[in-house]
Amino acid sequence: MTQFINGNWRDGDGHPMASFNPANGEQLWQGNAATSAQVDAAVAAARSAQFDWFMLGFEGRLKQVEAYRTQLEVHRELLAETIAQETGKPRWETATEVTAMIGKIALSAKAYQQRTGTSENALPVARAVLRHKPHGVVAVFGPYNFPAHLPNGHIVPALLAGNTVIFKPSELTPKVAELMVKLWQQSGVAAGVINLVQGEVETGKALAGHEGIDGLFFTGSSRTGHLLHQQFGGHPGKILALEMGGNNPLIVKDVADIKAAVHEIIQSAYISSGQRCTCARRLFVQQGAQGDALIDMLIKAVKAIKVGPWNAEPQPFMGAMVSETAALGMLAAQQHLQQLGGQSLVVMQQLQVGTGLVSPGLMDVTSVAELPDEEYFGPLLQLIRYQQFDEAIVMANSTRYGLSAGLLADSRADFDYFFARSRAGIVNWNKQITGAAGSAPFGGIGASGNHRPSAFYAADYCAYPVASMEADTLSLPATLSPGLTL
């Protein structure tokens, strides 16, 4: 049973699908994709449930969402293990993913009140009241790298605002999605409030193009996000929130504690095997003895990173990439950069054929004249040596993306200078550029987003404002407008 439509589990009527443990090829899940008729049924179920869900009121909806939080708390280990098996991420890391999901409930309730709540202003003859209403039926599309936390970051605020949801997860992580929705079901949510359609691109297209949805909240690649943006062209009445990738820069300038800098670089570039949209892809280090010393230490530290299956003990820092295909794609990217003139300082290698297990790579691309502005979504960091800070900032900004950026530097003045000039939605100082806070907005500019940031600001795209002028009784004004007689 792979699809959850109107409160019932049923098989997909489409083609067969499966998911695998990327560290050993073991099959974890199988089922069939949803057809477009099943997408129709899910949209219809969400539509017929929506008004009653809205009319529960915020407190009623929050109670339901809190019952889901209880399910997450009770089943946190099972969920963390399922995410680890299906994505390859180590257990220590997926435990933090589930913790973030649990924290999302209180944060989203606070965000709803702060950003989209109700307010009232007294006017001389009336009250000006501001309330927010849900869009209606929304589709949520998730990526594979955080298969639970990131869709959860759309689903929870969407439901709290009074929307009903059709969730289309990544085809690489159907088992995680199924478990998430089972926990919603066990929390007692009414039929049709959350629906699950599993499938690949065809299912995604059927849902994204469905005339019955009022909006789509997407986290995924820039390529797919751009396709969706085109598809939504000509539909100004539908809301589209796009959280996409990045080609994120991290600059190092004048740091006394080189070891601490190396630690922040590794946490920025290699966490989740480089499969975070916020990961540093380009590292800028000044020419000179201090830069040389930092790079020597970085090379040693990268070579020492432990890579292994999700359940290896002691735990590795990096697990398998999500699939062998993804791993081979990264090796091809490495080869391409080498052909352009990049010098590998640490060569990325597949550790076991048939798996997504790869070692981390570091490449000096300073001499590459035309560095591709691509998001290589894996553990490969490109190093660029620079002479002047201004030159580094110009190169850092030389990307069509604009998700995260960072500076490691001892001087506050250097950060202020960098902050004023950098173009990204997340700009950090002396902190890794991965691991964003759910209490802040999360999104980027350029090809990284469409100005509808998620996390704390997700509330904004889940509801629209309604302004009302209200008076308890009718009354005639003291003076009538010129030309009126009653």
Ligand X SMILES: NC(=O)C1=CN([C@@H]2O[C@H](COP(=O)(O)OP(=O)(O)OC[C@H]3O[C@@H](n4cnc5c(N)ncnc54)[C@H](O)[C@@H]3O)[C@@H](O)[C@H]2O)C=CC1
Binding site for ligand LFNQLBSZ (CB under 6 A): 100, 145-146, 153, 276-278, 434-436, 438, 442, 454-455
Residue 154 neighbours by CB under 8 Å, 6+ apart = 140, 142, 217, 219, 241, 454, 458
Using CB under 6 A, which of the segments 16-24, 196-204, 298-306, 407-415 binds ligand X? Answer: 196-204
For 366-387, the DSSP string reads TT-SS-------SSEEEEEEES
- Of 154-173, binders to ligand X (CB under 6 A) are 168-171
354 marked ligand binding residue = no
The smaller minimum CB distance to ligand X, of residues 71 and 248, is found at 248
Burial of 372 (0-12, 13-18, 19+ CB in 10 A): middle
Tell me the three state secondary structure of residue 325.
helix
Using CB under 6 A, which of the segments 8-16, 95-103, 239-247, 356-364 binds ligand X? Answer: 239-247
12: left (phi over 0), alpha (psi -120 to 50) or beta: beta
Instruction: Give the closest residue to 139 by CA, choosing from 154, 122, 124.
Output: 154
What CA–CA distance (Å, rounded) separates 89 from 422?
31
Q: Which residue in 317, 377, 389, 418 binds ligand X (CB under 6 A)? A: 377
Q: Which does 435 bind (CB under 5 to 8 A by kind): ligand LFNQLBSZ, ligand X, none?
A: ligand LFNQLBSZ
Q: Just list the catalytic residues.
A: 243, 277
Cβ 109 to ligand X shortest distance, Å: 21
The smaller minimum CB distance to ligand LFNQLBSZ, of residues 210 and 423, is found at 423
- Fill in the amino acid letter for 424: A
Q: Which residue in 93, 97, 375, 460 binds ligand X (CB under 6 A)? A: 375
What is the four-CA torsion angle of 80, 83, 88, 89, rounded to 10 degrees? -50
224 marked ligand binding residue = yes
- Site for ligand X contains 94 (CB under 6 A): no
Tell me the residue nearest to ligand X as measured from the CB: 204
- Site for ligand X contains 450 (CB under 6 A): no
Q: Which does 375 bind (CB under 5 to 8 A by kind): ligand X, ligand LFNQLBSZ, none?
A: ligand X
Residue 207 neighbours by CB under 8 Å, 6+ apart = 39, 42, 43, 139, 141, 166, 168, 197, 213, 216
Q: Are 195 and 207 in contact (CB under 8 A)?
A: no
The smaller minimum CB distance to ligand LFNQLBSZ, of residues 42 and 326, is found at 326
Instruction: Give the closest residue to 285 by CA, choosing from 216, 383, 372, 373.
Output: 383
Annotated binding site: 220-225
Annotated binding site for NAD(+): 220-225
Interaction site with ligand X (CB under 6 A) = 141-146, 150, 168-171, 200-201, 204-205, 208, 219-221, 224, 227, 243-245, 277, 375, 377, 403
